Amino acid sequence: MPTALPDLDRLRPAGTKRSSKRDLIVNVFLRQEGHLSADDLVDLIKREDHRLSRATVYRTLQWMVDAGVARKVDFGEGRFRFEHSYRHPRHFHLICKECNRSYEFLSSDIEALVEEVAMARGFQARQSVVQIYGTCEACLTGRPPAEEGTTSELLFARDALRIAIATERSGLDFYTRAAKITKDRRGRSVFLRLAEEEKAHLGTLEARYQKLLEQDPLLESRPTFLFFKGAANGLFARGADELLAEGINDREAYRIGIRCERGSHRFFKKYGERFEDSEGKQVFLEFAEEEREHLELLIREYRALLRRQSQRKPGSADRRASRPKTRASRSAVNPTSR
Ligand SMILES: [Zn+2]
Ligand SMILES: [Zn+2]
């Protein structure tokens, strides 16, 4: 994807001069999407400027690794390969032993497992490398790899948006259902309002998704990059199912909603913060913020409901006791959210 190159002056070690040779090498390197060996890069550079020496390319590559522009990867071939890390999401690799192609993916379940193991062993993990060796689909079927001609960043943004969209959809289901079952008038207006918000967000996310597709006509059909088992069906799907149970009352509906919003907020915040700068990161962080606003609204409303119920005289009519004063209800359902 044509994105602006990073500010290399900022990365340059203090006191070192600007070098046009180095800039050329860095620029050529950043234009590559795959995993290059140092010699691959030398060949590419020589095509641009045959006077540049192998030693200069090697030195610059090392400088890029130190500056965080390049990542060194070892696919067990007896030599390192390099990939750029600029707007390139963290990932694991599938490595084909037939054609030496490598494919990128990320799995939140693997990362969670690694975290769990490290924590249990009191180990502070800095980096984990997951490499799966075998034979790729292209070699098995003879069809060209479906990843070719796109970037991991684009796939990542697509998958992040898909997860956010699935979450909005399940959220919309959840609140529509909650509004239907609640007996409390104020509760109904809160749930309806949240359903409206989910619908509006859904529209925004879908528009963004369509825009992303314009960047790559094959994007829809390309393989999954981001695996999020727990989030694939939308983080509210289980909550929406729970609402179907017999005899769910208003309090329980709020509690389930609070649990879903909290889980969703944490999920998007945690992963959003961990991702490198990218569209996907932005999607997650914005979404985390929206979920936080919903969570706060639900908690406020849940407390208000408990207060109303505790003030209610035993045996009094449910509807009359829960009818809010107009002003109070207006301010209560007017959340800080957009
Ligand atoms: Zn292969
Ligand atoms: Zn890679």
Task: Specify the pLDDT at position 12.
Answer: 56
Distance 107 CA to ligand 1 centre (A): 21
- Bridge partners (DSSP) listed for residue 103: 94
Average pLDDT of the chain to the nearest whole number: 85
Distance 141 CA to ligand 1 centre (A): 10
User: Do residues 186 and 332 lie in contact, with contact meaning Cβ atoms separated by under 8 Å?
Assistant: yes
Distance 97 CA to ligand 1 centre (A): 7
At 173, the amino acid letter reads: D
Distance 279 CA to ligand 2 centre (A): 18
Helix or strand run (H / E) with residue 72: strand 70-74
Distance 77 CA to ligand 1 centre (A): 15
Distance 144 CA to ligand 1 centre (A): 9
Distance 131 CA to ligand 2 centre (A): 10
- Bridge partners (DSSP) listed for residue 126: none
Q: How far apart are CA 208 and CA 276, in angstroms?
A: 20
Distance 283 CA to ligand 2 centre (A): 22
Helix extents (H) in 182-230:
185-214
Distance 269 CA to ligand 1 centre (A): 36
Distance 58 CA to ligand 2 centre (A): 20
Task: Specify the pLDDT at position 315.
Answer: 54
Intervals of the chain under pLDDT 50: 1-4, 317-338
Distance 34 CA to ligand 1 centre (A): 14
Q: How far apart are CA 67 and CA 71, in angstroms?
A: 10
Ligand found nearest the CA of 72: 2
DSSP, collapsed to helix, strand or coil, labels residue 103 as strand
Task: Specify the pLDDT at position 324.
Answer: 47
Distance 95 CA to ligand 1 centre (A): 8
User: Do residues 31 and 6 lie in contact, with contact meaning Cβ atoms separated by under 8 Å?
Assistant: no
DSSP state of 149: T
Distance 306 CA to ligand 2 centre (A): 52
Q: How far apart are CA 169 and CA 229, in angstroms?
A: 17
Ligand found nearest the CA of 96: 1
Distance 90 CA to ligand 2 centre (A): 8
> Among residues 160, 144, 149, 145, which one has the least CA distance to residue 106?
160
Each residue's pLDDT tens digit, 269-325: 988 887 777 788 888 899 899 999 999 999 999 999 999 888 875 655 444 444 444
Distance 7 CA to ligand 2 centre (A): 22
Task: Specify the pLDDT at position 253.
Answer: 92
CA distances from 197 to 134, 200, 261, 262 (A): 46, 5, 13, 17
Task: Specify the pLDDT at position 335.
Answer: 40
Q: How far apart are CA 266 and CA 115, in angstroms?
A: 16
Distance 93 CA to ligand 1 centre (A): 13
Q: How far apart are CA 54 and CA 59, in angstroms?
A: 9
Task: Specify the pLDDT at position 1.
Answer: 37
Ligand found nearest the CA of 101: 1
